[in-house]
Structure 1
């Protein structure tokens, strides 16, 4: 319950909004029924489970085995299970097990169930993702900018390679130093645009 922030939105409205924004609903059901909504006399967990089903959200549940619950009781005492809403929990558990679900004895079983189920869902269902694809604005300007930057990067990469090749050629030449033509060629690679100048050498290329 600590997850709900103070505000005008009710807890159930918050739950519905979260589920509506989700691609998958997953339930981990142990030995407690959960906080109960006084209006419906159902736990918020059961209400969200029902809402996800009504919205057609792909759902799966991981349910603690009786052995796992007994082990928890031995570890933590009777407070590990819900004695007040035992009947409601039993009925809810039966409802959950009537849909896609698996059992767990150990937390590692939960990880395995999540991995296997999501992998299966991803091959059969079209997920939009946390940032919903149908909410993304026009991407054309961004794609155009990325294309232009990619072209610019390719051009600069080519120029760097040409410059390195030229510098290596000058280094190992037998001319004894750089000529005006060497400088002119190097500056033609370094300086963009139609006009390139090298004032101290007294030449201009238009």
Structure 2
């Protein structure tokens, strides 16, 4: 049985709703589990505590950058950048997608404040130190996410999730002990 993977989806939210939806569809079409703010439960935790747990539990991390830096935490760093920093720290495979024509992004979807624009530019520069794909619309973003995930799963295999096919816990523990001995 093929494992299914949990993929954390990171981006600003309000300005990239359609793009996030396209990325979610790509993840689901491959048979994997998307994890992002759309699916956060009510929880007895701060948003950052919950985000940290979900990223730690995820197999892959997808980052989408558009024209906004996003809402910031107490230290002035956006939640999106904090998520990226955590994914790096946890050595998660990071698949980054950056808008390829930032000057063409509609005015309502870009930062107006110079400090936020500067922070966004610095963040983009950091992210582009790794191999990234550019996107200009939700359709080519979806295609890029599909292809990148297929490649990442092949080249950076993770544990993922496998259905328990009715094995009792004791039988499963025996099989694991046997495999461990080998």
Pairwise TM-score range, normalised by the shorter structure: 0.5 to 0.7
Where structure 1 has 5 or more consecutive residues not aligned to the other structure, the ranges are 142-206
- The Cα of 1:6 is off from its aligned counterpart by 5.2
- The answer to whether structure 1 residue 83 and structure 2 residue 112 are counterparts is yes
Q: Which moved more, 1:105-114 or 1:42-51?
A: 105-114
Aligned to 2:73: 37
Q: Answer yes or no: is 1:119 the counterpart of 2:150.
A: yes
Structure 2 spans left out of the alignment, 5+ residues: 1-12, 14-36, 173-182
The alignment covers a number of residue pairs equal to 132
The CA RMSD measured in Å over matched residues stands at 2.6
Q: Identify the structure with bigger relative contact order (alpha carbons < 8 Å, sequence gap 6+).
A: 2
TM-score for both structures, normalised by structure 2: 0.64
1:80-159 map, 5 Å? 80-84=109-113, 85-130=116-161, 138=169, 140=171
**1:125: Cα distance to partner?**
2.1
- 2: CA distance, partners of 1:132 / 1:58: 23
Query: 1:22, 1:130 within 8 Å by CA — same for their partners in 2?
Result: no
Bigger-Rg structure (1/2): 1
Per the TM alignment, residue 51 of structure 1 is displaced from its structure 2 partner at its CA by 0.1
Greater helix fraction, Structure 1 or Structure 2: 1
